[in-house]
Chains A and B, each alone.
Chain A
Amino acid sequence: MNNEVQHGMNQQQIETLLAKTRIDLTQIINQAGINALQYIGSHPVIIPSEDFDSAESCNQQRLKNKISSVLTNYLKCNYESDEFTQNEFIINADFTKLSDNRIPTQSISIRPIVMKLKRPLSIPFFGPEQEQLLPVYYQVTVNIPLIINSKNAHETEPLHSTDLTVTTVLTTRYLGLQHLISSFNESLRNLGPFWRTMTLLTNVYSMARGYRHYQKGLPQNIVDNNHLELITNLVLLFEEALTFGGINPSLLIDAVKQTKSVFSGENINNISSVNSLTKSDWMVSFSDLKESFAEESSTDEQNSKQQLVNITDIASSILWDQTSIQLEFINENEESKIVTYQIDSSKSLEDTVKEYQDNNWVLKGSFKGESVQNQSTIQNINSIAESMYTASFSTEVNRKGPCSIYEGEHNGFPIDNGSSSWVISNITRMSQQTIPEKGTISPGTIVFEEVYTIEWTRSHHWSNKTSEVIENETVIQWDQIIVTDQKKEQNVTFSIKVIDYAEMNYFPGDILDVFYENISADDSNLETTIPSYISTVYEPHKQELFIQDTGTYYQSKISETVPEWITQHAVNALIEIYHQVSRITVDEKINAMNYPNPTELLTLAFEDMLQQFETNKTKFEQKTSYAKNDVFYCTSDKTIYAIRCWYVSFLHQQLQLLSSDLQTDVDDAINDALETADVDDKAVFDEAMNDNLVSSFQHQLSIPFSTSMKLKRMDAETKGWNESLLLSVDHQPAYISCFQQETIDDKQEYFLGIRNTCLLGPSGLPILPITPTTPWLVTLNTWLIQIRGGYAVFSIRDMNDETVFHPLFCHEPIDFTRKNEVIRANDGTILGWNTRLTFAVDTISCSLVPSWGCMVGDTDGVLSEHHGKEV
């Protein structure tokens, strides 16, 4: 009996455990399915690849894959290591039954749930039925193999093994949106409601215009494409309203404007949009917080434009130093006061502001004050100029010429007793070469040369030894003479060689006739450097050179006086670059609306600015103005070019530095803020601020110009399942025109084509027979009207769907979007294509007027009108 009770209790606990597991897994499947459908809704496959039978099966497979992936991960995290328990029982997923250790998509089945949609308004024949059976939800069933063990038991065999069937309804109306768009697209094709409404309206239109023409002979162009365009858009608006219970408000506004334009004859070029707000309208600029300090910048038009990252300030700070800031205060009586704050003041800016605030003045704004030229920049300019106006020389001694030595006469004195050192006795300059001709000087060139013949003398001691025996004693006698030797050394060459000039080694680029004055440019070039070297280095040391061996001596840098005007010209050149650089603006698409994450926004803004800067670098440096084929026209040109390069390079460096500093500062500020808010994981912030925020924000801003439609579940078991559906319709372009193309960059795009052909000519067809009172019965004319077009993007949004969680907005509406798009699997293979919503109808309109009067037809000479043009 006890065993039976125990068994019964165990059974109850197991059932409870399974029920809890089912609830847990249901939530996961539902969440995974909703997320998958949200993504699929924005990127649906409309034309599947060859691997799928239909778009429906392809999208379902995508849904299954996502559910399988999320569920498998969840089971691995929570149902693999005895995590889920109930009293003494443990439940785990049976991975041994799962091939590849994952839930196979075959074990997931999907069934649509059909509901009855009731529209608030219906016009039979010209719109969809008021009541329509519509698949709205997906019901997903997954079989999950589970095993249950006892905590205390150590058996290898599981206590209980089962395939748990989890069934859930994915609580998002993706399927309903998909079918509504499909049925809308169908209604725009063939002989659907769009065709019927178009046919009715165009016939009413042609009949009315034809009768007017019959009466007055005007209008000459009875069926006008201007009017057909408007009628097409109005019919699209009408069909939208009937199908979705709502309209795109932009289309309504544009249609009203266009109607006014057609009747008044005014052109409307600026067609507004409501649901698709212009992105620049949302631009948030951090530069609002700062002002340009540059004095020159006040005249620059671009500077007045607030930018995300203001390159002008960075460029100006190199040229000018701000000395004061103007502070504008305002008090309770609306009196304003301007205070000039000197930057070098001992009192801090904060203290100054606080002092006024304590006296009931409120800081209204701050403006640039006075500025002076940045002296360190001027020093840099002078330093570059000085180094450019410098040449290095050395003297080379060459003693390779013939050298002949003549010894003095020493007959009878054979013994050499040595000689003194050679002493120069005579120097004869044989030749002298002065500065070479223009165009022949480059580093290594000899610019000055002297050839000498040097005569040397020395004293040479010779002796003679004689011995004589006197009284058995040998007497040795030495006789000595001193003679003078002579040496003649020919071709002793002293050459002055140019080693470098105008920083050729560090800053390549030769200068035309660099050692000659350029009179037209008022530039002395390096003209005086050679004479200066000769007079200050060579000549003073020349006597020493006569006795030096072959080699290089007296290397020296000689500076030329820099023309006075160069500094001002260089400053002007830098101001010119500054103005050019000021024109760089960050792409308008890079704004806080599109990139809500400040770090990402700053990174992209700087990347864009740096890219533009680098692209224009050669334009800023303007080498072609100063040099031709890498040869500068004069030293001043090379100097100014070098100064330009320095400024561009320094600015580039500053931008990169500022970019990294700012990003670090922003990151630090965000981290501090998160820390204050006790948020440990920065990923939470990144996730909340990713690009999806933009689409979420736009979704939240969508205004549903709609009325609710009723949805009712039909089967008996779920009686009472009623809900309402509120849709927001959005499409781009809102109003499609056959006369205006959308222009993006240098490209245009056409969205609508209308052609109308007057089939029976300008006079129409008289219908016989002749009656006693009239020449014929009636005059008939017909027009073939052909319309085709499409929307770049068409989406409907379920505005009262609260199932999709969003960290900032709590929930966001799900949408279904039709546009051209390629849909890929995770490995990159193409699953299919999303395509645009398009329409194409051909219809006939006619006009019937009595005989007599004017006959009916297009009498303006254009029988076939296309896009408003004669064809």
Chain B
Amino acid sequence: MLLKFRLLIKLILLISIMSLNVFTQPISIQAQPSQCTFGEIDAWISINGKNWLNTTISELSLSCGQSFFVKAKMSPSVDDIWLALYLFEPGTTSTNQESFTVIDGPCQLNDGVDLGKTYAFENKTVIWKMKVKDDPVWKNGITPLSLTGFFQKQKDDEWITEDISFSIAAIHILENETISDTSSLDSEPHNLRFISSNLIILPIILLVLLGLGFIKQKK
């Protein structure tokens, strides 16, 4: 009777810990887009161009030379709005200082792209394929990658500009680490991945303990 009771407790414990692991599985939180009078802007970052993380990602680890994608969507809410985007790495002005390069995209880093005149709810989306430089100056550090979106309306000879700036991600540039399984990274933030990988060990340990308990009881 006592043996059965102990087994029951162990099973309950096992189920509890496993369910804890289920609840701590990474969840990609969808943040709200930034808004201004003329519309809204949102941006995402991805490792493979399929699974996107909504900005701002507070800490994303990328290796030197690793490629990634940045997507920005501008949605004007009124007619006759001119759109433009400026992609930049704060504090850098020369190519030497920059930690990233644009492989493919509408503009380079620390440069802007004109998205032209649009009408209300005519969304404009642009994607950059970028990579961390092989030997960036800010190696082993955390550097933000930021974006400014411009909504402009012409009034007489002047332009009324509403701009929104935010960081897409604060990227931790890893020196020599290479990430082989990219798909696991792009579906979840780095810190959440860490939590889940550690927690999965707990049920394994418990299973081992349970097995040992069985063996001990049989003896």
**Residue ranges of A at the interface with B (Cβ–Cβ < 8 Å):** 39, 43, 66, 69, 189, 589, 691, 741, 744-753, 755, 786, 788-790, 792, 819-824, 826, 828, 830, 833, 835-836, 838-840, 864, 866-867, 869, 871
Contacts and interface: CB of A to CB of B under 8 A. Distances in A.
Interface in B82-121: 82, 84, 86, 88, 90-93, 97, 110-112, 114, 116-117
Contact of A39 (B140, B154, B158): B158
Contacts of B142: 753, 866-867, 869, 871
Nearest to A838: B91
B140 A751 contact: no
A745 B112 contact: no
Contacts of B34: 744-747
B159 to A, nearest CB: 6
A788 B165 contact: no
A589 B170 CA distance: 29
A749 B93 contact: no
Interface stretch (B62-70, B143-151, B197-205, B211-219): B143-151
Contact of A753 (B84, B91, B140, B161): B91
B144 A747 contact: no
Contacts of A790: 90-91
A820 B86 contact: yes
Contact of A749 (B31, B33, B84, B166): B166
B88 A820 contact: yes
For the complex of A and B, 8 pairs with smallest distance between CB atoms: A788-B91, A747-B166, A746-B31, A750-B144, A822-B84, A820-B148, A748-B56, A746-B32
Given A750-B90, A786-B138, A828-B82, 18 more contacts: A189-B93, A746-B31, A753-B142, A788-B91, A789-B90, A790-B90, A820-B86, A820-B148, A820-B150, A820-B163, A820-B165, A822-B84, A822-B161, A830-B84, A833-B112, A839-B91, A864-B140, A871-B141
Given A750-B146, A788-B92, A864-B140, A833 B167 contact: no
Contact of B140 (A820, A835, A871): A871
Given A745-B32, A833-B112, A753 B138 contact: yes
Given A753-B143, A838-B90, A822 B114 contact: yes
B24 to A, nearest CB: 22
B112 to A, nearest CB: 5
Contacts of A789: 90-91
Contact of B56 (A747, A792, A826, A835): A747
Contacts of A66: 157
Nearest to B59: A869
Contacts of B170: 750
23 contacts: A66-B157, A746-B56, A747-B164, A748-B56, A748-B58, A750-B146, A753-B141, A786-B141, A788-B92, A792-B165, A819-B163, A821-B161, A822-B84, A822-B150, A822-B152, A835-B88, A835-B110, A838-B92, A864-B141, A866-B141, A867-B142, A871-B141, A871-B142
A828 B158 contact: no
Interface of B: 31-35, 37, 55-56, 58, 82, 84, 86, 88, 90-93, 97, 110-112, 114, 116-117, 137-138, 140-144, 146, 148, 150, 152, 154, 157-161, 163-167, 170, 172
A745 B158 CA distance: 28
B32 A751 contact: no
Contact of A838 (B93, B143, B163, B172): B93
Nearest to B54: A746
Contacts of A753: 90-91, 138, 141-144
B89 to A, nearest CB: 9
A363 B58 CA distance: 56
Nearest to B40: A745
Contact of B114 (A751, A820, A830, A839): A830
A326 B117 CA distance: 56
Contacts of B33: 745-746
A747 B31 contact: yes
A824 B92 contact: no
Given A744-B166, A792-B165, A864-B140, A840 B93 contact: yes
Nearest to A70: B157
Contacts of A821: 150, 161, 163
B160 to A, nearest CB: 7
Contacts of B148: 820
A495 B83 CA distance: 67
A691 B82 contact: no
Nearest to B77: A611
Contacts of B167: 741, 747-750
Contacts of A744: 34, 164, 166
A772 to B, nearest CB: 42
A621 to B, nearest CB: 24
A678 to B, nearest CB: 27
Contacts of B117: 828
A840 B92 contact: yes
A745 B166 CA distance: 10
Contacts of B90: 750-751, 753, 788-790, 836, 838
Contacts of B154: 826, 828
A755 B141 contact: yes
Contacts of A589: 37
Contacts of A828: 82, 116-117, 154
Contacts of B92: 788, 838, 840
A822 B165 contact: no
A39 B90 CA distance: 26
A871 B37 CA distance: 40
Nearest to B94: A840
Contacts of A749: 56, 144, 146, 165-167
B52 to A, nearest CB: 15
Contacts of A43: 159, 161
A745 B35 contact: yes
A691 B165 CA distance: 22
Tell which of A69, A752, A790 has the most Cβ of chain B within 10 Å. Answer: A790
B91 A826 contact: no
Contacts of A824: 82, 152, 159
A663 to B, nearest CB: 19
B68 to A, nearest CB: 18
A805 B31 CA distance: 45
A189 B94 CA distance: 11
A189 B167 CA distance: 23
Nearest to B148: A820
B27 to A, nearest CB: 15
Nearest to A830: B114
B82 A826 contact: no
Nearest to B170: A750
A765 B88 CA distance: 39
Kindly name the residue among B86, B90, B142 whose own CB sees the greatest number of chain A CB atoms within 10 A. B90
Given A822-B86, A822-B114, A822-B150, A748 B166 contact: yes
Contacts of B161: 43, 821-822
A748 B144 CA distance: 10
B126 to A, nearest CB: 14
A643 B93 CA distance: 62
A69 B156 CA distance: 13
Contacts of A750: 90, 144, 146, 167, 170
A822 B153 CA distance: 12
A778 B140 CA distance: 30
B189 to A, nearest CB: 14
A788 B167 CA distance: 15
B164 A788 contact: no
Contacts of B138: 753, 755, 786, 788
B66 to A, nearest CB: 17
Nearest to B34: A745
Contacts of A830: 84, 112, 114
Contacts of A752: 91
A213 to B, nearest CB: 24
Contacts of B152: 822, 824
B56 A822 contact: no
Contacts of A838: 90-93
